[in-house]
Amino acid sequence: MQKEMLISKLAKLAVKVGVNVQKGQTVVVRSSLTAKELAREIVKEAYLSGARKVIVDWNDEYVSRSSFLYMDDETLQEVPDYVVDRSKYYVDHNASFISVISPLIGVNKDLDPKKMQLAMRASQEKLKFMREYTMGNEAPWTIVAAANPIWAKKVFPNLDEEDATNKLWEAIFNASRVYEKTDPLKEWEEHNENLNKLSTKLNNYQFEKLHFKNSLGTDLIVGLVLDHIWVGGGETARNGIYFNPNIPTEEVFTMPHKMMTEGKVVATKPLSYSGKVIEDFYLEFKDGAVVNFDAKKEKEALQSILEFDQNAKYIGEIALIGEDSPIAQTNLLFFNTLFDENASCHMALGRAYPMNIKDGIGAPIKSLEEKGYNNSMVHVDFMFGSPCLEITGIKKDGSKIKIFEKGNFII
């Protein structure tokens, strides 16, 4: 009974705080079949909040796996007109998007990453307008997660399937600030306020560069675009609706300059990408681009990210999270970026967010690129924070201010 009640609370959080559904809105719920219980609750809550129409797009990783295994390359790259028309309908109706994820970790571990890349690239090219709609914050969008036995056994390998699944649900609820005796809407109002205060403090500095260094091998300089904006927690869509794109979230993040990343970064957590788990990897940058890399596991999957398009080897986001964040304190490895990125400083290969630069939302992409914006079809976060990480902010006049010491904020 308690789990059902907490799932209902999580659904309400996704609707009320995640996308902040307004009366008369169209809402699209994109959900894994393994998350059907949460998805159904979200649909109900969306209607109760005044949604005009709620559309559910179901997906199934086993079906996708069969397609990657048995379709020929040419067929994999077909994007039917009805798929494009459906997305155009969503945009035309100013739809909000709720993604309900429930990853089947490792389901694609033996698949050819290049074949998977063909399908993803074809889809991204045909649906470019959708990517700009969501990442450009034209309307609210959010991501929320549901437990499943396969994911749970990966996170809690020493428990039986039922106990592991219950334990993962508990971890999801806690990370999302969904508790039995408190109101998650109020919890998130306070949380957003705290993240906004931290973003404001960083924005006031307007650092030119950030220097990251730890004992694990990371020694990296990341240049920031002029008039960059730090953001954390809630954001305002172009249509004026305040929303939270990630449930959970602990980060404050901004836009790096495409050409101004130099040095080496060592990942501190595995990266789960398209059903594969990339482990023990590093990247070396010169003039903003990755020029060298390695991984002990799934190196080809990492290579497929870097080769996705011409700008995938540049970064589009840099995010700061202290080791004292609630998710970091659980000492859990979720094998999922939505959670793991909120336990560790991270950066994203690929596309940047227009909201992270002054007057960026709604601006032409070409004008943003002239300012250092990275335009790519991918956006893949990976984690490099550690308890020994130090971060120094460097201002335009060369003065330095310590931001992180021993993995935590000190400003």
Query: What are the start and end residues of each CATH 3.40.1830.10 domain in the chain?
Result: 2-175
Contact in structure between 177 and 280 (CB atoms under 8 Å): no
Q: What is the DSSP letter of 17?
A: I
The pTM of the full predicted model, rounded to 2 decimals, is 0.90
CATH number of 2-175: 3.40.1830.10
Residue 148 is predicted with a pLDDT of: 97
Average pLDDT over the chain, rounded to whole?
Answer: 96
Q: What is the DSSP letter of 255?
A: P
Binned at pLDDT 50, 70 and 90, residue 344 comes out as very high
What is the 3-state secondary structure of 344-377? CCEEEEECCCHHHECCCCCCCHHHHHCCCCCCCC
DSSP state string for 106-129: TTTTTS-HHHHHHHHHHHHHHTHH
Residues in contact with 10: Cβ distance below 8 Å, sequence separation at least 6, in sequence order: 38, 41, 144, 172, 173, 176, 178, 184, 247
Work out the average pLDDT over 326-341: 92
Residue 1 is predicted with a pLDDT of: 53
Distances 11 to 44, 72, 95, 206, 309 between C-alpha atoms, Å: 9, 39, 18, 37, 36
Q: Which of 265, 210, 249, 409 is nearest to 337 (CA)?
A: 249
* Strands (DSSP E) found in 134-275: 141-145, 209-213, 219-224, 231-232, 235-236, 242-243, 252-254, 256-266, 271-273
CA–CA gap between residue 252 and residue 224 (Å, rounded): 14
Q: Which of 139, 163, 149, 124 is nearest to 350 (CA)?
A: 124
By CB atoms closer than 10 A (0-12, 13-18, 19+), residue 315 is buried
Angle, nearest 10°, between helix axes 2-13 and 184-205?
40
Two structure tokens written together for 310? 């011409």
Residue 74 has pLDDT above 90, yes or no: yes
Q: Which of 284, 292, 267, 288 is nearest to 380 (CA)?
A: 267
Binned at pLDDT 50, 70 and 90, residue 109 comes out as confident
What counts of helices (H) and strands (E) characterise the chain? 14, 20
Distances 405 to 202, 223, 389, 390 between C-alpha atoms, Å: 16, 20, 7, 5
Q: Which of 262, 272, 325, 204 is nearest to 281 (CA)?
A: 272
pLDDT tens for 192-220 read 999 999 999 999 999 999 999 999 999 99
Higher pLDDT, 144 or 325: 144
Contact in structure between 141 and 150 (CB atoms under 8 Å): no
Work out the average pLDDT over 219-247: 96
Work out the average pLDDT over 133-150: 95
Two structure tokens written together for 340? 């793991």
